[in-house]
Structure 1
Amino acid sequence: MTSTQVSHSLAFRVMRLCRPSFHVDTPLRFDPFDLLAGEDLFDDPIAASHFPRLLSTQSVNSKSNESDLTYRNRFLLHDPSDAMGLPGLLVLPQAFGAIYLGETFCSYISINNSSNFEARDIVIKAEIQTERQRILLLDTSKSPVESIRAGGRYDFIVEHDVKELGAHTLVCTALYNDGDGERKYLPQFFKFMVANPLSVRTKVRVVKETTFLEACIENNTKSNLYMDQVEFEPAQYWSATLLKADDNHSEDSVLTRETFKSPVLIRSGGGIHNYLYQLRLSSHGSAQTKVDGSNILGKFQITWRTNLGEPGRLQTQQILSSPTTRKEIELQAVEVPSVIILEKPFLVRLNLSNQTDRIMGPFEVWLSQTDSYGEKVVMVNGLQTMVLPQVDAYSSKDFQLNLIATKLGVQKITGITVFDTREKKTYEPLPDLEIFVDSD
């Protein structure tokens, strides 16, 4: 808090409002009978027969010592719940404490008149200042506080949803008439830091047409966090499915879990929990994504509560995949026969898609004459070059190649190439296609 050179009748006092914590009494307690018997007590039938008498004697002794002022019984375990060390009492916070991103900062502010004169027409303002913005929390300009008597005070509560990391300043100001009628201005500043409660680390892996997103959430606070919601909101054209281990529960338990969803506990001081999502891109979205080169997958919405129910909420930044390479023309195999007869013609259905915003083509499609082994196992049956007409923007065209195989076994169709006759440009060949060639 900064002080000014002018003497003021009024002064601000700020207290943070937050939930109390559990009061933990001496957690080390024991049952006195443990001093008389070990784990092998019941192995001896004679000793086991005296167990009820010893237990009743101990209970009588414990009752007789209830008024013992030496507190010899304060460590005795009279009830199983005593082992937790929780006597049922709560403790109010003794310090300002840590403030985390996503929480609601709630403060009780009192403006006190410590002079012997009445302060009148008090205009009070309270605002939060960060590196980026100023947020007004309270302003009594339109209805000033009429007066605060000598020794009196005016109290109010302000709240602010914390959405920025780093230094924050609670600025409290008062404009008032002093006892001698002088108009005075009182500013006071209360600084605090906002830390990040969670670390969210992500990994993206692409397997064929499926994208997997792994998220690791780590608790950076000093209290346990109960995650009410960890939801991934996919970007346009994407769909997301949360993958879970199969617990093999009964049908009743599945219905119970759907009705009541228990929160996920992430323990204090570095506890972690992992989530795995399967992402799929729609067919229209696939073409559009490749055109504009967008690699945005989506973002996480995370809500949680602390031990005593204080809520928190975070939204991550957009999660990105590896950049998408833009292709003007893409050639794909749509249908390939499962079994092909040796030296008999067969058809392979292909699709040529235009992923640009302009008309492309005409095109020529052919099969290269040799493969990597120096011989051609699969050849074109008929004209060696097929001519395709123009393809409109963001459109595609299906066509068929008539081929013939000359060798038995598992073979590969290699070297299917597309050539733009207008642009004089050859595009990347279609990846090899495996086929099985059988005899009659």
Structure 2
Amino acid sequence: MSTGATQGPHSLAFRVMRLCKPSFHVDPPLRIDPFDLLSGEDFSDDPASASLLRRHVSSADALDSDLSYRNRFLINHPTDPIGLSGLLLLPQSFGAIYLGETFCSYISVNNSSTSQVRDVTIKAEIQTERQRILLLDTSKSPVESIRTGGRYDFIVEHDVKELGAHTLVCSALYNDADGERKYLPQFFKFVVANPLSVRTKETTFLEACIENHTKSNLFMDQVDFEPAKQWSALRLHDDDLHPSSLVPPTSDLGGIIPPNPPVIIRSGGGIHNYLYKLVPSSDVSAQTKFQGSSILGKFQITWRTNLGEPGRLQTQQILGAPVSRKEINIRVVEVPTAIHLNRPFSASLNLTNQTDRQLGPFEVSLSQDESQMGKPVAINGLQKLMLPRLEAFGSNDFQLNLIASKLGVQKIAGITAWDTREKKTYELVPEMEIFVESD
């Protein structure tokens, strides 16, 4: 940036202080006996002196004090080991800044020279790897003057939406005592870290594991999963986590304590898991369902720190494992609960066309890779079942008559469908276990 400003010492200087909530002042407890303040450490070794001191102390607690050091480390009150003094501590350093927080800074322009400066134009900007964001610009209404020893103060805020290196650029353009126009830039660098990591596990369900990377506890206000249009998501809750019996309805605290307290994720690596059930949305066409998009959705997360400072984060799109779609799918809808040896039974199945064209007719049978007699479960009666053509994305329910020839846990395997028009065989049903009883 070229301003034609004269190089040299400046009358002005920027001072930056980050504005954030104070922290609790922790004073490590000093475990001593009150008598140690009145006597030496070897006072209790002299029984005569210890007895004399007891007679001169009127406190009931003091009369019970053990001068033999046996009870020095006993905790007499629950607050003793905490070390909270009841005081709040102002920030002692710039501290860590995390994605999703609001960066708030108090900036002061100080005139440390012996003369007044005039027509001061002040700018404050946040510079990242991607963009430069203007936070303050007094170009249209410059500060008329800043006297010797005086200052001009202002506060800037910025919602942090990028990770990595950030620079707070503060600049001033002013006239010094000699009338020279000078330009003063100052740079304050900080790094924005990721407060949370979200790991997902996709099988039948989507599990989000949220881990706290900050140095303070996070109180999760909202963890919502926004599914892609082809999915609908159901959050699975554990009703036993926060039973309503914890706060009786007649309690005076009923209006203060929420029925469902916020989830607390402990500092320094605390983890909480959220479980969602994903099912194909009924609002999209069958064709969209079967295209196998790998985009599942994204998370909207909001939280607060110990003293209520808010944070918010939106993840990128969560991608699931690519799902290969078969042209034909067959599934077992129902089998009898009781299956007896050498007695026929019926299995209910469903055949679905997952393409945008007609398929079939079909011949449903058991594969002939081994002798029919050697199979523990075989088709009873006609070995091939004829099914009509299926329209695009259509389905057909049918019954398959089977018979089991061996006792115990057996497998129904090798059910196939032969497309008589396209001359193509579909291996459809994975092995399914059944239990065969004797009569």
Same fold at TM > 0.5: yes
Q: Does 1:106 align with 2:104?
A: yes
1:330, CA displacement in angstroms?
0.9
1:149-200: CA deviation from partner (whole Å, max 9, x where unpaired): 34332111001122222211001122334444444333221111222333x3
Q: Does 1:204 align with 2:201?
A: yes
Match of 1:307 in 2: 306
Q: Is the 2:353–2:390 contact (alpha carbons within 8 Å) kept by the matching residues of 1?
A: no
Partner Cα distance (1:34, 1:8) in 2: 57
Q: Does 1:244 align with 2:241?
A: no
Structure 2: which amino acid aligns with 1:191?
K
Q: Is the 2:361–2:387 contact (alpha carbons within 8 Å) kept by the matching residues of 1?
A: yes
Match of 1:235 in 2: 227
Question: Which SS does the other structure have where 2:119 is aligned?
Answer: strand
Q: 1:168 to 1:130 in 2, by over 3 A?
A: same
Higher helix residue share: 1
Output the TM-score relative to the length of structure 2.
0.74
Question: Which SS does the other structure have where 1:132 is aligned?
Answer: coil
Partner Cα distance (2:157, 2:178) in 1: 35
1:98-135: CA deviation from partner (whole Å, max 9, x where unpaired): 22222221111112233454433333221101112222
Task: After TM superposition, list the pairs within 5 Å mapping 1:235-384 onto structure 2.
Answer: 235-236=227-228, 237-244=231-238, 246=240, 251=245, 253=247, 259-268=258-267, 270-282=268-280, 284=282, 291-339=290-338, 347-369=346-368, 371=370, 375-376=374-375, 377-379=377-379, 381-382=381-382, 384=384
Q: 1:245 to 1:26 in 2, by over 3 A?
A: same
1:364-390: CA deviation from partner (whole Å, max 9, x where unpaired): 333334657853542253472514214
Partner Cα distance (2:237, 2:404) in 1: 46
For residue 159 of structure 1, the aligned residue among 151, 157, 172 is: 157
Question: Which SS does the other structure have where 1:176 is aligned?
Answer: strand
Greater Cα shift, 172-181 or 372-381: 372-381
Question: Which SS does the other structure have where 1:128 is aligned?
Answer: strand
Q: Is the 1:289–1:324 contact (alpha carbons within 8 Å) kept by the matching residues of 2?
A: no
Match of 1:414 in 2: 413
Match of 1:213 in 2: 207
Question: Which SS does the other structure have where 1:151 is aligned?
Answer: coil
Q: Does 1:386 align with 2:386?
A: yes
Greater Cα shift, 413-422 or 243-252: 243-252
1:280, CA displacement in angstroms?
3.6
Partner Cα distance (1:260, 1:355) in 2: 46
Q: Is the 1:18–1:106 contact (alpha carbons within 8 Å) kept by the matching residues of 2?
A: yes
Question: Which SS does the other structure have where 1:313 is aligned?
Answer: strand
Task: After TM superposition, list the pairs within 5 Å mapping 1:394-409 onto structure 2.
Answer: 394-401=393-400, 403-405=401-403, 407=405, 409=407
For residue 12 of structure 1, the aligned residue among 14, 29, 36 is: 14
Q: 1:289 to 1:249 in 2, by over 3 A?
A: same
Q: 1:20 to 1:381 in 2, by over 3 A?
A: same
Match of 1:125 in 2: 123
Q: 1:59 to 1:305 in 2, by over 3 A?
A: farther
Greater Cα shift, 258-267 or 182-191: 258-267
Partner Cα distance (1:102, 1:248) in 2: 28
Match of 1:43 in 2: none
Q: Is the 1:170–1:189 contact (alpha carbons within 8 Å) kept by the matching residues of 2?
A: yes
Partner Cα distance (2:248, 2:276) in 1: 21
Q: 1:213 to 1:175 in 2, by over 3 A?
A: same
Number of residue-to-residue matches in the alignment: 400
1:29-56: CA deviation from partner (whole Å, max 9, x where unpaired): 4343799xxxxxxxxxxxxxx9xx9797
Partner Cα distance (1:251, 1:79) in 2: 29
1:347, CA displacement in angstroms?
4.5
Greater Cα shift, 117-126 or 25-34: 25-34
Gaps spanning 5+ residues in structure 2: where?
38-50, 64-74
1:412, CA displacement in angstroms?
4.4
Match of 1:71 in 2: none
1:181-234: CA deviation from partner (whole Å, max 9, x where unpaired): 444333221111222333x3535253xxx325151524442xx31323352415
Q: 1:422 to 1:154 in 2, by over 3 A?
A: farther
Greater Cα shift, 349-358 or 168-177: 349-358
Partner Cα distance (2:379, 2:8) in 1: 97
Match of 1:57 in 2: 58
1:281, CA displacement in angstroms?
1.5
Q: Percent identity?
A: 59
Partner Cα distance (1:226, 1:423) in 2: 60
Partner Cα distance (1:434, 1:390) in 2: 28
Q: Is the 2:99–2:193 contact (alpha carbons within 8 Å) kept by the matching residues of 1?
A: yes
Q: 1:214 to 1:156 in 2, by over 3 A?
A: closer
Greater Cα shift, 368-377 or 132-141: 368-377
Question: Which SS does the other structure have where 1:89 is aligned?
Answer: strand
Structure 1: which amino acid aligns with 2:173?
L
Structure 1: which amino acid aligns with 2:108?
S
1:85, CA displacement in angstroms?
4.0
1:252-283: CA deviation from partner (whole Å, max 9, x where unpaired): 63866983443444444x34233241424247
Q: 1:287 to 1:371 in 2, by over 3 A?
A: farther
Gaps spanning 5+ residues in structure 1: where?
36-49, 63-76
